[in-house]
Amino acid sequence: MKTMLSDFLADTYLWSKSLHVISVISWMAGLFYLPRLYVHHSEQTTAGTEIDATFQMMELKLLKLIMNPSMIATWVFGLALVFTPGIVDWSSLWPWTKAAAVLAMTWFHMWLAMRRKDFVRGDFRVSGRTYRWMNELPTVLMIIIVFSVILRF
């Protein structure tokens, strides 16, 4: 059974890798855009207004229709790559730095999802400035991930 799975993963390696990259690009687009929406939502409206409802609709669709599916696909195809024989050298540092950064990226995704629920409750406690700062996190994590995978330090 293990041989069948190993053979399947090896045979589909380039497909998994391609779909992983496509998924990551989609996920990153959402991780860059959603905090920017939150900046404007927190600074340009108040709870219960028409623009508040518009922002909430945009944020919900971005999160549920683009970000969540692309995060899940990123994880599925990423794990397929991890389990493909001969791809990851676990004695190296790079898979561990990448894994830590991916876990941090996933935490950031969940943090953004919780902040969307704040807006739904009418809680505008987090400032636009905080969202601007948090918007830098996915860039830093992306740099760590890319350098880890490409340079394999």
* Residues 46-98 pLDDT 10s: 999 999 999 999 999 999 999 999 999 999 999 999 999 999 999 999 999 99
Q: What are phi and psi of 47, to 5 degrees?
A: -60, 140
Question: For tokens 């340079």, what's the residue?
Answer: 151
Question: Residue 1: is its pLDDT beyond 60?
Answer: no
DSSP code, position 92: S
DSSP per position, 62-89 = IIIIIIHHHHHHHHHHHHHHHTSTTS--
Number of H helices, E strands in the chain: 7, 0
pLDDT at residue 89, rounded to an integer: 93
pLDDT at residue 153, rounded to an integer: 78
Question: Residue 119: is its pLDDT beyond 80?
Answer: yes
Contacts of 27 (CB under 8 A, 6+ apart): 67, 70, 71, 73, 74, 105, 109
Cα torsion 28, 37, 60, 109 to 10°: value is 40
Are the C-beta atoms of 37 and 80 separated by less than 8 Å? no
pLDDT at residue 3, rounded to an integer: 86
